[in-house]
């Protein structure tokens, strides 16, 4: 198999024309963040936000043009709104990530950020979804995705209609944890049908690219991909959509906090001091953008030996509970570090569905019950918050 190069990709894209401007998208400077790695190609097409909704055919044409090249294994193309005041864009899409700059006008209102439906009525970013909940952590390696997966399944076990969005663009894990493979279909060429297992609808970048493909994307590309996985997926009627957030407080988190009407966030941490410090940063980020923090979960609270049952506090114990009390947050519960939870998650049969009567599954069910109590008591769906740059 021949090795594909960036120049070959750009040559192919020179045959794709902007329908309104009559010139190829390379010459117009619309291609941003091009990455070619081991036959996997990814890039963004930077467009005027006003034209975005009608340029899906252009995105598909660009994707098809590159996909025809010999040596191409996969192609990922996203539309992203151009930054600045209407020029050709920001060179490589390396904007400030928030879409605003010092001295710029205040962020648009939630109504302005939502697409206009016929008749002038606003269309919700995720119509039909009652509550969107972010499961987040300040750092990686604390079991956030495992918690998000089992929390989702525990909500489904209560008879709720639930979906999970894997927002970790750089390290998607929900396909493996939920035991799903394949690619989502698009019946109308505009929206994707989420894949499903255990009665839960799932969407992840892991369905669209190979598992070992590195996603070397800049902030605007990540933002655009997240918006498309929310807006252009046929989620249907859901009681709750759980969002498995990437670790940290970067572009993906700000995109979700600014542009999505989150009902709340669940923070996951270990008892370890350094993890609690990072968890505090994540919690404060949600507070600053007016997203309610539903509570804190302490994962890996203790280690249970599979042979003798001895308990050891490898990362300390009770740190997240004390932190929750200090910050005035609810402590939702704790989960141990056990081989059963790890093996069932890695094997695509999370413990809530594979061992529903186990003490570990019951802990997730208790946390899910409390989360739903807080959501259902929250009343009407929240309006997306604003961030004003000062």
Local confidence band at 110 (pLDDT 50, 70, 90 cut-offs): very low
Rounding to the nearest 10 degrees, give the CA dihedral for residues 34, 37, 38, 41.
-30
Query: Which class is 6-96 in CATH?
Result: alpha beta
> Whole-model pTM above 0.85?
no
- What residues are paired with 316 via a beta bridge? 314
Q: What's the pLDDT tens digit per position in 139-173?
A: 667 888 999 999 999 999 999 999 999 988 777 88
Q: Which of 50-54, 83-87, 109-113, 375-379 has the lowest mean pLDDT?
A: 109-113
Q: What's the pLDDT tens digit per position in 198-240?
A: 999 999 888 877 666 656 566 666 777 777 788 888 999 999 9
Q: What's the pLDDT tens digit per position in 240-270?
A: 999 998 876 666 676 676 677 889 989 888 7
pLDDT recorded at residue 371? 95
- Compute the distance between CA of residue 260 and CA of residue 237 in angstroms, rounded to an integer: 17
- Compute the distance between CA of residue 214 and CA of residue 65 in angstroms, rounded to an integer: 22
CB distance 146 to 256 below 8 Å: no
CB distance 139 to 146 below 8 Å: no
- What residues are paired with 333 via a beta bridge? 297
| Token pair 């940290």: residue | 248
Per CATH, the homologous superfamily of domain 129-376 is P-loop containing nucleotide triphosphate hydrolases (3.40.50.300)
- Compute the distance between CA of residue 324 and CA of residue 64 in angstroms, rounded to an integer: 50
In the chain, what are the domain boundaries? 6-96, 129-376
Question: Minimal CA–CA distance to 80: which of 287, 255, 332?
Answer: 255
């Amino acid at each position: 198999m021949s090795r594909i190069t960036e120049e070959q990709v750009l040559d192919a894209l020179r045959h794709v024309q902007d329908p309104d401007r009559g010139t190829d998208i390379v010459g117009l400077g619309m291609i941003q963040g091009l990455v070619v790695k081991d036959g996997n190609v990814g890039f963004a097409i930077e467009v005027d936000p006003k034209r975005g909704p009608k340029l899906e055919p252009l995105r598909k044409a660009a994707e098809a043009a590159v996909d025809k090249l010999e040596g191409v294994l996969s192609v990922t193309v996203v539309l992203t709104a151009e930054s600045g005041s209407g020029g050709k864009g920001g060179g490589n899409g390396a904007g400030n990530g928030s879409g605003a700059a010092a001295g710029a006008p205040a962020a648009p209102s939630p109504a302005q950020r939502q697409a206009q439906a016929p008749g002038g009525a606003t269309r919700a970013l995720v119509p039909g979804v009652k509550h969107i909940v972010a499961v987040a952590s300040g750092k990686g390696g604390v079991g956030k995705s495992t918690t998000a997966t089992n929390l989702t399944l525990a909500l489904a076990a209560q008879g709720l209609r639930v979906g999970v969005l894997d927002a970790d663009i750089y390290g998607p894990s929900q396909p493996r944890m939920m035991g799903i493979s394949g690619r989502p279909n698009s019946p109308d060429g505009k929206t994707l049908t989420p894949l499903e297992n255990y009665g839960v609808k799932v969407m992840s970048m892991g369905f669209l690219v190979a598992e070992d493909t590195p996603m070397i994307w800049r902030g605007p590309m990540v933002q655009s991909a997240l918006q498309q996985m929310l807006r252009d997926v046929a989620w249907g009627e859901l009681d709750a959509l759980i969002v498995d957030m990437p670790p940290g407080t970067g572009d993906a988190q700000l995109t979700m906090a600014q542009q999505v009407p989150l009902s709340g966030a669940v923070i996951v941490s270990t008892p370890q001091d350094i993890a609690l410090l990072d968890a505090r940063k994540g919690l404060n980020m949600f507070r600053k953008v007016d997203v309610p923090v539903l509570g804190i979960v302490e994962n890996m609270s203790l280690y249970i030996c599979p042979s003798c049952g001895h308990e050891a506090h490898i990362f300390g114990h009770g740190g997240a509970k004390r932190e929750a009390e200090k910050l005035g947050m609810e402590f939702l519960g704790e989960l141990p570090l056990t081989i059963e939870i790890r093996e069932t998650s890695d094997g695509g049969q999370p413990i809530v569905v594979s061992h529903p009567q186990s003490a570990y599954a019951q802990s997730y069910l208790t946390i899910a019950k409390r989360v739903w109590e807080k959501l259902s008591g929250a009343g009407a769906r929240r309006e997306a918050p604003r961030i004003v740059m000062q």
